[in-house]
Amino acid sequence: MNSLWIRSVLCALGAAAAFAQQPPAGGKAAPPPGKYTCGVFLSGRYTFTQYVTLSAGAYESSVAGTGTYHYDAATSRLLFDTGKFEPLFGSYEPTPNYPLFRLSNRTDMKESDYTRSWRSQVCSGKY
């Protein structure tokens, strides 16, 4: 086979794979599945609260059991549909090095980012 043809096919496949991995327009890609360590900062000290494991459309908390969620790419939020997390939402705020979301009460959705930040649990995919 022609090596130029092979290179063009490989380039096309690479571009298609890169395009498929890009987040939806207007938002970030969903948080990757895995175990997240959650906690709060009290008087400048980190206090562990729970582990949350995310999988495709489902979550499991070490203290609150299981349920389902969906990810809204437009707002970068995890919206919990069932289980004890139903009155909560997660703001997905990944860093360059690891995934991170803030777990907050839905009544705080209308509050400022600053207020939500100090009222929320921080859940990190790096532990």
- With respect to residue 11, please indicate whether it lies within any of the assigned structural domains: no
Residue 27 has a pLDDT of 56
Residue 35 has a pLDDT of 97
- With respect to residue 21, please indicate whether it lies within any of the assigned structural domains: no
- The confidence band for 127, taking pLDDT boundaries of 50, 70 and 90, is low
Task: Write out pLDDT tens, residues 7-45.
Answer: 333 333 333 333 333 444 445 799 999 999 999 988 889
Residue 123 has a pLDDT of 96
- With respect to residue 98, please indicate whether it lies within any of the assigned structural domains: yes
- With respect to residue 9, please indicate whether it lies within any of the assigned structural domains: no
Residue 104 belongs to domain spanning? 26-124
CA distance 123 to 120: 9
Here the CATH number for the domain that contains residue 59 is 2.40.128
What pTM did the predictor assign?
Answer: 0.75
Q: What is the DSSP string of 37-102?
A: EEEEEETTEEEEEEEEEEETTEEEETTTEEEEEEEETTTTEEEE-SSTTTTEEEEE---SSS-EEE
Q: How many domains does the chain have?
A: 1
Task: Write out pLDDT tens, residues 68-126.
Answer: 999 999 999 999 999 999 999 999 999 999 999 999 999 988 888 888 877 899 999 97
CA distance 104 to 124: 14
